[in-house]
Amino acid sequence: MRRKKGQAPLLNVARWIERSEANGPGERFVLWLQGCPLRCLGCWNPDTWDFAARNLMSVDQVMATIAAVRGIAGVTLTGGEPFAQARALRHLAPQIRSQGLSLMIFTGYRLEELTSDAAREVLTHTDIVVAGRFILSERDEFLRWRGSRNQQVHFLTERYSPTMLQDANITEFIIARNGEMQVTGFPSEALLGELRLKFPVHARTVSGARREPAYSWKCEKRLKYEGGRSVVYRPYGVSCCF
């Protein structure tokens, strides 16, 4: 796809989920962007590191895809490294906010490292930023929306409150009509171990929240997990807990 002079840069997209409760407050459209220069040791989305073109989409195409999903609270950008595509996001972010949607971004950069004009402009339209590199030696399964203790959650507007950080993380199961189960959010090692035991043959990494593993299984029955952490079961896009 060629870009005409004066148009916003194209976005290199890895994938998206239309509805998720595990990647920020409320039901959210989650967009994984392709390409990351940081490449943190222990990152669970290494397929999003490469900057080679994966799914090139215009800002208008991405926005139309988001707008087609009704009743969501906002959009979450993750990756990959979203701010590696700040020049395109400076055009997408205001469109998201103009629809009354909130914007949350997971980035491997610290907030003070985001100094480019494009990055600062994106931040003016952002409600929540989870910032900082994933450090494997500081991994913590019980920090809301974070993978390691060094990472920080910045509330940039008054739309959401830091009291949200007291809530437990969510692990989400999305069941496709073909029986494929996708896990996203912040699964604990105990849950992942149980999943690997129950579905060892078909396990493969497909997507997930930033720096957390995600797997896909062909399955015909609902998985039950007794763990003290919130689990959302979403058959065909309809969520419930079990």
* Annotation: CATH topology of 11-166: TIM Barrel (3.20.20)
In the prediction, which pLDDT does 217 show?
Answer: 38
User: What is the distance, to the nearest Å, from the Cα of residue 161 to the centroid of all Cα atoms in its chain?
Assistant: 20
Rounded CA separation 140/137 (Å): 9
**In contact, 123 and 159? CB cutoff 8 Å:** no
Condensed to tens digits (0 to 9), the pLDDT of residues 168-223 reads 777 787 776 666 667 777 777 777 777 777 665 444 333 343 333 333 333 333 33
Condensed to tens digits (0 to 9), the pLDDT of residues 30-44 reads 999 999 999 999 887
For residue 129, which of 101, 115, 110 has the smallest C-alpha distance?
110
**Residue type present at position 221:** K
In the prediction, which pLDDT does 231 show?
Answer: 47
pLDDT at position 235 over 70: no
pLDDT band at 3 (very low <50, low <70, confident <90, very high): low
In the prediction, which pLDDT does 7 show?
Answer: 74
**In contact, 153 and 144? CB cutoff 8 Å:** yes
Consecutive H or E run containing 171: strand 170-175
Q: How many CA atoms lie within 13 A of 118 on its CB side?
A: 13
